[in-house]
Structure 1
Amino acid sequence: MFRHALPFIGVIGLALLAGCNNGEPEPLAVRPVMVTQPQPASEAFESYPGEVHARYEPELAFRIGGKVAERMVEAGDRVSKGQPLAKLDPQDVQLQLEGIRAQVAAAEANLRVAQAEHERYKTLMNRQLVSRSQFDSSENAFRSAQARLQQARAEFDVAHNQVDYAVLRATHDGVVAQRRIEVGQVVAAGQTAFILAADGEREVAINLPEQALDRYSVGQAVTVEIWSQKDKQYPGQIRELSPAADPQSRTYSARVAFTTAEVSAELGQSALVSIRNNAEVPLALPLSAVTAEQGQAYVWRVKDDATLERVAVQAGAFGETLVPIFSGLGANDWIVMAGVQMLHEGQPVRAVDRDNRPVELAAQE
C-alpha cells in the first residue's frame, strides 16, 4: 500500500511547487558566450616593399670604346654636372687625330695648287690660249680640292670630339648610384659605366606580382611609408608600370611618385607602398560561428541589451578556418563564435572575448 502512495505524493509535491511560482516560468540563467567581430576576409590594402630611387637615373657610358685608364669616383660619391668620372686610354684617339690633322694639311696644300692652276687657266682662257675643256678641267680640279679639304676638316672635328669622348663626365648634379667599370677594363661604346641618381624628385621602385597586375594602373593613388620614419605616411601615385615581366623574378616593375613636395626620403631607403584593393572586401567569421538550417546559413548576434538574436546571412565558400559573409552583418556586430547549437532566440548572455574578459556592448558604454 505504501508503494502505491509514492507516485501520488510526488504529484502533490510538484503541484505545490507550481503553486509557489504563481504560474510564471522560471527566469532564464545568464549564459557566458565567447564573441567576436567580423574581420575583413582579405586585406583592404595590399602592401609591397620598395626602395627610394631618384626620378631620373641616367646610365652613363663612353661614346667610344677603349681601355679604362682612370676612374675618379666611387658609388655613393656626390658629383656635379660636367665633372669627370672616368677616362679611357687616349693613345689611339690621339694618333687618329694626328693622322687626320696631316690629311687636313695635305688637303690645304692640294687646294692651293689647284687654285693657282685654276687662276692660270682662267687668265689663258681670257686670252683665248686654252680651250674651254681645259679650263673646265682645271675648275673641276679646284672644286674637288675644296671638297677634299672640307671632308678632311670634318673628319678632324670628329677625331677631336673622340678625344673629348675619352673622358666621361656627369650629365647632372647628383649621386653615383652604381659603378660598373674598373681601371684596366676594356669597354665598348655605349656600355654602362655608371648610373647617376640625379638631384631632384624622389620615387619608390616596387615589383608587382603577375596575378595582381590587372588591379593596378598608372595614376592610381597609393600610400608610401618610409621605414625609418615610423607612423608617417606620404601620398603618392603609380607613375610607371612595366609592360613586360622580369625574366628572372617574373614580376612587373613599377615606379611610385610622391604627390607632395615635402618628402624627406634619401636614396636607398626602404619603403612600404600600400595600394587599396578596389575589389569589394567581404567580412569573415570563424567556422564555429556559422550554422545552417534547411540550407540557410545564420549566426547568433548579441544585441545591445545582452540578448541573442538569430540572423540569416549570405555565406561564401567555407575556408579552412574562416567563412566569408557577403551580407547580413556589419563590421561592429558581436557574434557568438562557439556553442551556437545550444542557443535560442532572446536568451540573455554575458559576452566575453577569447581571454575571458567582459565585452562592453553599445548599450552598456
Structure 2
Amino acid sequence: MKPIFLVLGGLAAVVAGGVALSRMTGEGPQPVVAAHAAAPRDGRVYGLGTVEARLLSRLGFEAAGTLSEILADQGDRVTKGQVLARLGLADQQARVAQAEAGVRQAQAALVQANARLDRARATRDQRANVNQRRQTLASRGTVSVEAAEDAQATSAVAVADVAVAASDVEAAKGGIEYAVAKLALERALLDKLTLVAPFDALVIERARELGSAVAPGGTVLTIADPATIWVTAFVDEALAGRVEVGQAAEITLRSRPGQPLAGKVARIDLENDRVSEERRVQVAFEIPLSPFTLGEQAEVLISAKRP
C-alpha cells in the first residue's frame, strides 16, 4: 500500500505547485479550443477540393483478345469516331468473309428456286391444257377413258409441283434472311474489336500496351472532355445554404499559388456527406483550364449571398 500513497502524494504535490504558480503569475487554467479552418473575412464561402472532369470515360473492348494496335497515348487529343485501338482481327475477318459467302450462296439458291417455280408453273399450265383437251375428247368418245384419267392425274401432279416449288422459294428467302442476319452479327463482332472515341477528348491514361491480353470491359484508355473540367469542392454544410448555382467563385490550384482563376458554381449536390458534414459543390472554370491535372488539390472562394 505504501507505493500507492507515495504516488498519490506526488500527484497532489504537482497539482498544488501548479495552482501556486498560477496564482503567482496571475493566469488561470487555459481552455482547450478546437482548431478550425479560418473563414474568409470578406464573407465568401471557402471550399477545398480537387480538379475533376464531368465527362470522363474509361474505354475498353466488349470482347476478349490481344491488342494488335494502339493508336493513342496519354496527352493526345482525339476526335469523335477516331480509331484508338484494335484487337487481333484476322479470325473475325475470316468469319465475316464466310458469312458474306453464305449470303451469296443463299441468294443463288433463291434464284434457282424461282427458276424451278417458273418451270413448274409452265408445266402445270401445259398439262392443264392437255387435260382439258383429253376430257373434251373423252366426252365425245374420241379418246379412251384411261387416257383422260391419266391426263387429269398428270395435271394434278403438276399443280402439286407448283406448290412444292413455291415452298422452296419461301425457304430460300428465309435462308437469305438467316445469312444476312449472321453476316450482321459477324460484322458487329468485328466492330467490337475496334475501339473508337465516343466524343472529342484528351487521353488521360493509357492502361494497356501492344500485345497485352484484354478482358471484356477492361480499361485500355481513359479519356476526358477538356471543356468539362471543374473543381469538386467540399463546403461546410453550415455555410452551404448560402451557395447557389451561378455564383462567381475564385479558384486557386495548388500548383499555381497566388494565381486565382475565375469560376462559377455549376452544380450543388443534393446530399451531404454524413461523416464530414460537408456538401459537394462543383465549380466550373470561366475559361477552360489548360493544361490540367485531374486530382490536383484546389481551393475555392465562392461569392455567396450574405446570411
- The interval holding the TM-score normalised by the smaller chain is 0.5 to 0.7
* Correspondence for 2:50: 50
Return the letter of the residue paired with 1:111. Answer: L
Distance in 1 separating the partners of 2:173 and 2:66: 37
For the Cα contact (< 8 Å) 1:104–1:149, is it kept in 2?
yes
Structure holding more strand per residue: 1
SS at match of 2:59: strand
Distance in 1 separating the partners of 2:92 and 2:280: 40
Superposed displacement of residue 221, structure 1: 2.5
SS at match of 1:178: strand
Q: Give 1:167-316 correspondences, 5 Å limit.
A: 167-182=194-209, 183-188=211-216, 190-199=217-226, 201-206=227-232, 208=234, 215=241, 219=245, 221=247, 223-227=249-253, 228=256, 230-239=258-267, 241=269, 255-258=282-285, 260=286, 262-268=287-293, 270-275=297-302, 280=307
Q: Cα deviations across residues 316-344 of structure 1 (Å, max 9, x unaligned)?
A: xxxxxxxxxxxxxxxxxxxxxxxxxxxxx
Superposed displacement of residue 233, structure 1: 3.8
Return the letter of the residue paired with 1:57. Answer: L
Distance in 1 separating the partners of 2:291 and 2:54: 12
Distance in 1 separating the partners of 2:94 and 2:76: 33
Q: Which runs of 5+ in 1 are unaligned?
A: 1-39, 281-365
For the Cα contact (< 8 Å) 1:241–1:253, is it kept in 2?
yes
Number of equivalent positions: 235
Asked which structure has the greater RCO (Cα within 8 Å, sep 6+), the reply is: 2
Distance in 2 separating the partners of 1:243 and 1:148: 57
* Correspondence for 2:110: 111
For the Cα contact (< 8 Å) 1:50–1:273, is it kept in 2?
no
For the Cα contact (< 8 Å) 1:204–1:271, is it kept in 2?
no
SS at match of 1:58: strand
Return the letter of the residue paired with 1:267. Answer: F
SS at match of 2:266: strand
Residues 245 and 63 of structure 1: CA distance in aligned 2, closer, same or farther (over 3 Å): farther
For the Cα contact (< 8 Å) 1:222–1:238, is it kept in 2?
no
Distance in 2 separating the partners of 1:117 and 1:82: 48
Superposed displacement of residue 93, structure 1: 1.3
For the Cα contact (< 8 Å) 1:179–1:194, is it kept in 2?
yes
Distance in 1 separating the partners of 2:191 and 2:271: 38
Q: Give 1:95-106 correspondences, 5 Å limit.
A: 95-106=94-105
Superposed displacement of residue 142, structure 1: 0.3
Distance in 1 separating the partners of 2:188 and 2:289: 41
Q: How high is the TM-score relative to the length of structure 1?
A: 0.53
SS at match of 2:220: strand
Distance in 1 separating the partners of 2:201 and 2:260: 26
For the Cα contact (< 8 Å) 1:226–1:265, is it kept in 2?
no
Matched, 1:154 2:153: no
Superposed displacement of residue 107, structure 1: 1.6
RMSD of Structure 2 on Structure 1 (CA)? 3.8
Superposed displacement of residue 176, structure 1: 0.2
